Structure 1
Amino acid sequence: MPVFALFLIWPLVEIALFVTLGSALGLWLTLLVVLGTGALGVAILRGQGLQSADRLRQRMADLRNPLAVAGSDALRMLAGVLLILPGFLTDALGLLLLVPLVRLLIVAWLARRFSVASMQSDQPARRSDGIVIDGEFTEIDSGRADGGPRPPSGWTRH
């Protein structure tokens, strides 16, 4: 029920903020803020993908824990998505997530709430023993003796 209430209340808060801030800022400045934060969100998402993969790869190559980097990068991507969505509340949350200290605190809070588990087995990993399984196959003819291009499908005019 709380998630449903959130989805019900969120748009109402955004509309109230649009009306309140829109009347204070004026139409053109309101549109400029919405379009500007949307462009900022797109720029963040475009630059974040490859950068995140490189940072994760580097952390794993150095045998360091990649979870803090992954959490921070995920929150930056969430910030980009929130900035793309039109609305002053989503923009404020997106801008807040761009602050490194805020991301660090959220990642630390999430790390305390969740635990990482790993699984191990007593059985050794199975290796291929070189056994080849014989099989038979049948080649299905495509209907063209010359192997040339396909005839027109009938759906196009030639």
Structure 2
Amino acid sequence: MRFVGFIIFFIYVYFELTFFIAVANSIGIFLALICIIATSILGFSLVKTQGLKNLGIMQQKIANNQSYKNEVIRSVALLFAGFFLLIPGFLTDILGAILLIPHVQDHIVEFIVRKMPIRSKFSSSQMNYQEDDIIEGEFKQKDDQ
């Protein structure tokens, strides 16, 4: 059971190198390396813009006392997309690009929300009191003796 991680890693490296060699044979090694670097830069900028957009939506939902768990899950998908896009290689770039597609992110969010056993509702620590709220009660003042 210990070596499962190593086996998965070597299988990943084998497929990544095989795919790189196939691409390099068809377009050239120099162009293949430029493509890998370009996809990393492009992917980083896409993750940054989508992450900032998602952060803005999350801040709006927090301000309106709405549940923001979908945006948190979408942020985790963006984190994984950024991780896959920064790893050099064509297969990880393809996987990262797939995770950047909003339709795919929606399916991931729906799948995870359906699998969540506990339904939670966002509640702010700040209570919104209106001027017409009346609190009735009786009290007795006790001396400290």
Structure whose alpha-carbon radius of gyration is higher: 1
Among 18, 21, 36, the alignment partner of 2:20 is: 18
Q: CA RMSD in A?
A: 2.1
Q: CA deviation at 1:40?
A: 1.4
Q: Which has the higher helix share?
A: 2
Counterparts of 2:54 and 2:85 in 1: how far apart (Å)? 19
1:110-149 to structure 2, matched below 5 A, reads 110-116=112-118
Alignment of 1:56-95 (within 5 A): 56-95=58-97
User: Which amino acid is 2:24 matched to?
Assistant: G
1:30 aligns with 2:36: no
Aligned residue number for residue 147 of structure 1: none
On the 8 A contact 1:41/1:82 being kept in 2, the answer is no
Partner residue in 2 for 1:141: none
One-letter code aligned to 2:66: R
Give identity over the alignment, percent: 31
TM-score when scaled to structure 2? 0.70
- The one-letter code matched in structure 2 to 1:81 is F
Tell me how many residue pairs correspond in the alignment. Answer: 118
Structure 1 unaligned blocks of 5 or more: 119-158
Please list the CA deviations of residues 94-139 of structure 1 after superposition, one character each: whole Å capped at 9, or x if unmatched.
1111111111111111122222366xxxxxxxxxxxxxxxxxxxxx
Question: Per the alignment, do residues 103 and 3 of structure 1 end up closer, same or farther by CA in structure 2, a change over 3 Å counting?
Answer: farther
**DSSP-derived class of the 2:94 partner:** helix
Q: Residues 5 and 117 (structure 1 numbering): CA distance in 2 closer, same or farther, change over 3 Å? A: farther
SS of equivalent residue, structure 1 residue 42:
helix
Structure 2, gaps ≥5 residues long: 121-145
2:49 is aligned to 47
Normalised by the length of structure 1, the TM-score is 0.65
